[in-house]
Amino acid sequence: MKETVLLALGSNLGDRLQNLRDALDDLCSFGRAERISHVIETKALLPEDAPTEWNRPYLNLAASLSTHLSPNQLLRALKKIEKKLGRNGNTQRWSPRIVDIDIVACGSLKVDSDLLTLPHAELKNRDFWQFLAEEIGYALPDSEITCDTNRYQPLNHFVLRPKMLGILNVTPDSFSDGGKFSDPIKAAEQAVKLRNDGASLLDIGAQSTRPGYVEVPPAEEISRLSPVLERCGDVAPLSIDTYFDEVAEYVLKNPNVKCINDQNSRLQPRVIKRIADRGAKLVVMMHGTDLRQIEDRIRYLENLGMSRSDLIADPGVGFGKSRRENMHIIKNLNSLKQFGCEILLGASRKSFISACSAAAAGDRDPESVAAANFAVGAGVDYIRIHNVRDHMRFFTVKYCLENA
């Protein structure tokens, strides 16, 4: 007999959004998530004598899971997921954790054992659980409701998808933010802001690719990246924009570099093989409008050991296309799905927007949100953006309205 249980998922260590994504994916092996809340950020609940380093905010979501497993069987399965994702079973209570999955309730069922209590013993003390349960329409017993959900306000709000690449240009001449973050200290501050705003990856570029740019040599690119990586290397997972072999080999020494964005398809086979061996992702960009170009490149990369699951197809907005061609490419993004790769759109503040807006490059965030919304509707997985905060606010409200 199937039961629908209320699960609460939380993370306050490592890549918090990705930890929640991974946990949800693993839940599908023994149940179906009927409804999933958006993600909220809350303060860590700690005893007064807790170490200062434990004071890390949590990201939380709730899911109603339909499953054939009994509550005790489900509990064992959830513990396996926690262990798989890296949670140490011997960690102290209240300490930070990569992922925490709790069974909050199972309808009207009551359980009181050494291993499991239902409804959860802490439900009355977890306003955020009650808030999220109401969002997904999971009815809790009246005796457990202590929160005025109309007044409850988390620290922040997020969604799991689309994944957002926060642009961090450490160049003096990028088209909309050139020079703003070329100082490593300012770059580090911006990296933290992008991460806190919800970026899944920081996309760091040390070579401008704006129209009419003057290419700098690999040594200069490395000199720009090096101090930034020292300060930002563990802030969030990193994607590095480069088409130079020397630069790619240098940044791949950093274990937090998870992706190389080769905008000109110039990386040599030895470097591509190293990316494949690392299990990192590689962005494949289309220049011009001929899909056969990107198809040929994907096949070439597969022959060098890259898996399609680690390749990200980018239609290359702004690269070798007119303004109208860029708009046509965005309108037909679903044509990239035939290649079996994830899809990235980098349209933020790009010049094609001037075909329908008079805003200057640095003021095109509303137009960028519109383009991103269209792209996500077409199935894009990643959006590469300057203003993560406003995109996250938009997509969070949209998700909540669509799932109300």
User: Which residues are 167's β-sheet partners?
Assistant: 203
Q: Residue 320 and residue 316: Cα distance in Å, rounded?
A: 8
68: exposed, middle or buried (Cβ count in 10 Å: 0-12, 13-18, 19+): exposed
> Catalytic residue at 49?
no
Which of 124, 171, 178, 129 is closest to 154 using CA atoms? 129
Residue type for 165, please?
A: L
177: exposed, middle or buried (Cβ count in 10 Å: 0-12, 13-18, 19+): middle
Give yes or no for a contact between 382 and 162, defined as CB atoms under 8 angstroms apart: yes
Residue type for 338, please?
A: Q
DSSP SS3 for 63: strand
> Catalytic residue at 390?
no
Q: Choosing from 16, 22, 97, 310, which is the catalytic residue?
A: 97
> Catalytic residue at 97?
yes
Which residues, in sequence order, are CB contacts of 343 under 8 Å at separation 6+? 312, 313, 314, 315, 333, 336, 337, 379, 380, 381, 382
Q: Choosing from 15, 22, 26, 100, which is the catalytic residue?
A: 100
Q: Choosing from 102, 127, 203, 314, which is the catalytic residue?
A: 102
Q: Residue 319 and residue 244: Cα distance in Å, rounded?
A: 18
User: Which residues are 241's β-sheet partners?
Assistant: 205, 261
Q: Residue 329 and residue 316: Cα distance in Å, rounded?
A: 9
Q: Choosing from 15, 22, 26, 87, which is the catalytic residue?
A: 87
Q: Residue 65 and residue 27: Cα distance in Å, rounded?
A: 8
Q: Residue 200 and residue 20: Cα distance in Å, rounded?
A: 12
Which backbone phi and psi does 16 adopt, to 5 degrees?
-60, -45
> Catalytic residue at 102?
yes
Which positions are catalytic? 87, 97, 100, 102
